[in-house]
Structure 1
Amino acid sequence: MIHNIKKRALVVMTYLGCTLGMMAQEKPNVVVFLVDDLRTELGCYGNPIVKSPNIDALAKEGVLFQKAYAQQALCAPSRMSLLSGLRPETFGIYSLFTSFRSVHKEVVTLPQFFKANGYQTVSVGKVYHHGFDDKDSWSMLFPKESNSWVKPENLALIERLKKSGKGSNGPAYECEEVEDEAYKDGRAVKNAIETLQKLKNDKFMMVVGLTKPHLPFNVPKKYWDLYNKEDFKVPSKEEPKDMYKLALTNWGELRGYYGIPQEGVLDDEMTKTLIHGYHASVSYTDAQVGKVMKALEQLDLRKNTIVVFMSDHGWKLGEYGAWCKHSNFELDVNVPLIISRETGYKNRVTNAKSNALVENLDLFPTLADACGLKDTPKLEGKSLLLLLNSPSLKWSQGAYSVYPRGKNVMGFTCTDGTWRYTEWWDNKAQKTIDSELYTCKENYMVRVENLAKNAKNAKEVKRMKLLLEKQYPLQLRSSYPQNDKGNSGKNSSE
């Protein structure tokens, strides 16, 4: 009883601290770095190889969430979810082929809400998957850049492929002695910095969409040279033992690039080369983050700017023999999330790590709350403002994601931070047809096993099943997946 009273008192005091801190200053600006395909492979997340000094420095300026999760491991629905504060199953879009506004003209999105509250809203780079989706919600909208290769021999190869009707994708990686702006993220950041200079006297909310480390792993050579290919280990190429037959895809995302075999697993040499390219791409992204952060300081904006660093979903780097997202596995839905309050905020917590289970759709309510904006639309995420002041607060019991396989089968998944449990629902048969249980921290050097098939794990399966049904009760599953056009569960280059 006394413990509960103290706990409630702590929550109230934390909330009052947040509120009083907000009252003491004007509404802050917001900058969100939204990165594509980034796993929690960063120095600040404990990776000893990756070089990410600027992101690591940002983590020291705020709260790093170790257990943050995307709501679907695919670009379009994931981004729609975090920008609307709604789950993919609520707006019924699970593919890359349906734009948000073509279906939902009534939903109030994050940029739309901030714009209505007097903010200049800016989209730079890849924010929505469909570049001009929700265009009226942005005060300024820079289209995502399109080119990916700069090497003359690769450009010539692409032209030959186009003429022969064999596609337009070049190799899966390249490095060249060029400036950062030769590739699209460098140009996006240049636009972001120039825009900050123009808006320094305005109230703004800017989302900077960085495409790397998405394929192809094309970056200036100086980032490639930060790593030695032989330092990377090759994970097990076997699919999980006893997994559901459709849990993985055929990773056509990588197979669409020139020189990649259309069948079978990659050999160790190519595996190491691609892992090398991914890490080089992460360091390239890190450098772009550093440029924007430097500009905020030089323009005297950091003192009143909240900065968020996040990813739309994770990615598999050869684990299970796969090279894509497109699944419910931990590697695909666990994402980095760092939130740093404005440096002028008097109750600012720094260099903190939180084990709270949080979700990407929490972004909208968190930013609205942190900026003191009232009357938000109905949202399914919840504000993380209390955690920014008290990162160790007890929080959610689970985090949830989905992934469809065709029009009749949906994978519903949840984690409690230790275990990941997935059920596959057949909408036609109106029943669960398979289930999977894995630990969140797997040894990917050996074959992973679906532990739900082992009777000794029956207790954990029962507990996790109940946790899953809190978000996805059986009586609601029959409405999923909805008939989203193009929702075939296929891979794509995005």
Structure 2
Amino acid sequence: MKKFIILFIAAFYFIGSNAQEKQPNVLVFYIDDLRAELGCYGSETAITPNIDKIANDGVMFNKAYVQQAICAPSRMSMLTGLRPETLGIYSIFTPLREVHKDIVSLPQLFHKNGYKTISIGKVYHHGSDDKNVWSTYFEKEPNSYLKPENIMLMKRLKEEGVKQLNGPAFENADVADEGYKDGRAAKYAIETLRKLKDDKFLMFVGLSKPHLPYNAPKKYWDLYDKNDFKIPSRKKPEDVYRLALSPWGELKAYSNIPKEGDLNDDLTRDLIHGYHASISYIDNQIGKVMATLDELDLRKNTMIIFVSDHGYKIGEYASWCKQSNMEIDVRVPLIISRETDYKKRVTGKTSDALVESVDMYSTLVDICKLESAPISDGKSILPVLDNPTKKWDDAAYSVYARGKNIMGVTTTDGEWRYTEWRNSTTHEILGAELYEHKNSLLSYENVSGNLVYSKVEKRMKKLLEVQFPRDGTPFLQNDIPRNK
């Protein structure tokens, strides 16, 4: 009898050990152009109950940063675990596989480890990258307009031979969620989950909103009163390098946006309204997908990652969109909610640890116990997920190139942001910026060179040179010219 009890206990622990070794499913909600304008992050305006629920079930990171505030390099960095300066790609014009044939991406690595891999919507910026690697691939769809007057406008522009076919910057057609593409992306995700419920999977659901144009069903616009939105200060940071902010040509390309000057208050409120409506629109799509996980009993063994490809400006600094090294552009929302089937997870916590999107590669390797993983520029943040108050990295780093000859390199320690604009070949410093962000996402005074902050600047300069040494090594440049 005693021998039987011992064997039973041994078997119990063996089964428990195996359960702990079980590889979880991974579902990534990859959002386009979303800053931390969410209820869970303290937004006073955004209505996001479904995303807030994910935060309540996981760990929300207050200081998560992307490696570059523009779509293509940022997404490549997360999907390969390599920084833009390692890849040598800094623009939206160069597909990853045009210059890097052998780098092992997340979908490739998961596939090698027996996972089904699914890409829905915008995952890579370039749909051609790894298109044939995914087990299931839904093409990202182009933007569409549904109001008759906008359909006619787009038809006319096409007939006139306009190359950049951009209609109005926003639309609010009275249609069902599936009328616009993110509703269809959620539908594809739900259908695919039903088919793969018995398989081990990595699924990326790439939602395009709140990227321009802010096209969302009318019911999401109706959640907000346009007049409730405050006009952001149009004050610009003082004494900044001439290329610190972009001229926001991305927004000016839309048909109802003036090509010169600041936007008036009425149009500004329309755009902020559209940005918020788009956020609530994707929030509801996320809620549908999460409800399906619960319905299929998949939530217990599925890890959820909610992340954006970069931050965004909606009028702050008299600027719009992203494309800078400012805090508001490189900081992103990041929420990770672990699977719950075999032991209690840390939930409903926030972390001030400095983490980077490039860390997601190593983190998934660690959590999913993936074999044959290549060396990554990031590192696993699993210890922070288990202990959100754990002391972590001293700094996070980003870059932004201005053409081939000028590279902006930046770092934050969580309270200060220091940026240098350098000659891409010689590392000669062309301009420097030091901003305080202890209590605010925005900072209007560049105190670089101010003797009062000389000790802070010296310390931040040392932090920057850890990642970007001025050793005379030119920045790797693999971008293909735009006209190729």
**TM-score, with structure 2 as normaliser:** 0.93
Q: 1:303 to 1:444 in 2, by over 3 A?
A: closer
The answer for the alignment partner of 1:383 in structure 2 is 380
Q: Which residue of the other structure, out of 469, 475, 482, is the alignment partner of 2:471?
A: 475
Bigger shift: residues 128-137 or 22-31:
22-31
Residue 487 of structure 1 and its aligned partner are, at CA, apart by 7.2
Q: CA deviation at 1:340?
A: 0.4
CA contact (8 A) 2:327 2:441 kept: no
Aligned identity (percent) is 58
Residue equivalent to 2:96: 100
Aligned AA (2:238): K
Is residue 269 of structure 1 aligned with residue 262 of structure 2? no
Evaluate the alpha carbon distance shift between residue 29 and residue 414 of structure 1 in structure 2; reply closer, same or farther with a 3 A threshold.
same
Question: In the alignment, is the contact (CA less than 8 A) between 2:19 and 2:342 conserved in 1?
Answer: no
Kept in 2, the 8 Å contact 1:193–1:295? The answer is: yes
Post-superposition shift, 1:381? Answer: 0.8
- Tell me the equivalent position of 1:5: none
Distance of 2:440 and 2:123 partners within structure 1: 33
Identify which of 98, 104, 111 aligns with 2:107: 111
Q: Does 2:184 align with 1:187?
A: yes
The offset of 1:429, in angstroms, is 5.2
Q: 1:317 Cα shift?
A: 0.6
Instruction: Provide runs of 4+ in structure 1 moved above 4 Å.
Output: 20-23, 441-445
What is aligned with 2:249?
252
Residue aligning to 2:407? 410
Give the conservation status (yes or no) of the 8 Å contact 1:29–1:203. Answer: yes
2:238 to 229, 236, 241: 241
- Residue 485 of structure 1 deviates from its aligned partner by 2.3
Q: CA deviation at 1:375?
A: 3.2
Hey, what does 1:216 align to over in structure 2? Answer: 213
Q: 1:67 maps to what in 2?
A: 63
| 1:454 shift after superposition | 2.3
Question: For residues 240 and 163 of structure 1, what CA distance do their matches in structure 2 show?
Answer: 43
**1:363 matches 2:363:** no
Paired position in structure 2 for 1:420: 417
The offset of 1:379, in angstroms, is: 0.4
The answer to whether the Cα contact below 8 Å between 2:308 and 2:332 also exists between their aligned partners in 1 is: yes
Deviations 1:168-204 (A, max 9, x none): 2110001011000000011011111100100001111
Q: What TM-score, normalized to structure 1? A: 0.92
* Cα distance in 2, alignment partners of residues 57 and 428 from structure 1: 47
- Check whether the contact 2:425–2:474 (CA below 8 A) recurs between aligned residues: no
1:169 maps onto 2:199 in alignment: no
Letter in 2 for 1:46: G
Q: CA deviation at 1:389?
A: 1.0
Amino acid at match of 1:63: V
2:480 alignment counterpart: 485
Aligned residue number for residue 197 of structure 2: 200
CA, structure 1 residues 305+21, in 2 after alignment: closer, same or farther (shift >3 Å)? farther
- Secondary structure at the aligned position of 2:132 is classed as helix
Select 1:283's aligned residue among 272, 280, 284. Answer: 280
SS in 1 for 2:343: coil
- The DSSP-based 3-state class of the residue aligned with 1:451 is coil
Look up the match of 2:324: 327
Deviations 1:16-40 (A, max 9, x none): xxxx888525211110000000001
For 2:263, the aligned partner's letter is: L
- By how many angstroms is 1:164 displaced? 2.2
The aligned residue for residue 39 of structure 1 is 35
Instruction: Provide the residue aligned with 1:178 in structure 2.
Output: 175
Inter-partner Cα distance in structure 2 for 1:90 and 1:70? 15
Deviation at 1:428, TM superposition (A): 4.9
Distance in 2 of aligned mates of 1:330 and 1:435 = 15
- Higher alpha-carbon deviation: 406-415 or 159-168: 159-168
User: Which whole-Å CA distance do the structure 2 matches of 1:487 and 1:430 have between them?
Assistant: 24
Say whether 1:140 aligns with 2:161.
Answer: no
How far did residue 88 of structure 1 move? Answer: 0.4
Q: How much has 1:481 moved relative to structure 2?
A: 5.2
Q: Which amino acid aligns with 1:323?
A: W
Residue in structure 2 matching 1:399, options 383, 396, 399: 396
CA distance in 1 between counterparts of 2:482 and 2:403 reads 6
**Quick check: 1:21–1:346 contact (8 Å CA) kept in 2?**
no
**1:53 alignment counterpart:** 49
Change (3 A) 1:164 1:435: same
CA displacement 1:217-247 (0-9 Å, x = unmatched): 0100111011111111111223211010011
Letter in 2 for 1:485: I
Amino acid at match of 2:479: D
Q: Which segment drifts farther, 138-147 or 30-39?
A: 138-147
Give secondary structure in 2 for the equivalent of 1:101.
helix
TM-fit CA distance, 1:444: 7.9
Q: Could you tell me which amino acid in structure 2 is paired with residue 82 of structure 1?
A: M
Secondary structure of the 1:272 match is helix
Q: Given the superposition, is the C-alpha separation of residues 407 and 483 from structure 1 closer, same or farther in structure 2, using an over 3 Å criterion?
A: farther
Give, in angstroms, the shift of residue 441 of structure 1: 5.3
* Counterpart residue number, 2:147: 151
| Cα distance in 2 between the residues matched to 1:95 and 1:444 | 25
Give, in whole Å, the separation in 2 of the partners of 1:485 and 1:247.
Answer: 24
Match 1:455 to one of 444, 451, 455: 451
C-alpha change, 1:450 and 1:239, in structure 2 (3 Å) is: same
Matches of 1:50 and 1:431, distance apart in 2: 43
- CA separation of 1:37 and 1:21: change in aligned 2, threshold 3 A: farther
- 1:173, 1:58 → 2: CA distance? 28
| CA distance in structure 2 between the partners assigned to 1:297 and 1:188 by the alignment | 19
- When residues 112 and 159 of structure 1 are mapped into structure 2, their CA distance, relative to the original with a 3 A threshold, is same
> How far off its partner does 1:321 sit?
1.0
Is the 2:54–2:337 Cα contact (8 Å) retained in structure 1? yes
SS of equivalent residue, structure 2 residue 30? strand
Are the equivalent residues in 2 in contact too, given 1:354–1:392 (CA < 8 A)? yes
- Aligned pair count reads 467
Bigger drift between 137-146 and 71-80 goes to: 137-146
Aligned to 2:119: 123
SS at match of 1:55: helix
SS of equivalent to 2:216: strand
Report Cα offsets for 1:48-90 as digits up to 9, x if no partner.
2110000000001000011000000010000000000000000
The DSSP-based 3-state class of the residue aligned with 1:308 is strand
Superposition deviation, residue 368 in structure 1 = 1.6
Distance, in Å, in 2 between the alignment partners of 1:444 and 1:200 is 41
Q: Output the CA distance in 2 between the equivalents of 1:152 and 1:442.
A: 46
| 1:114 Cα offset (Å) | 0.3
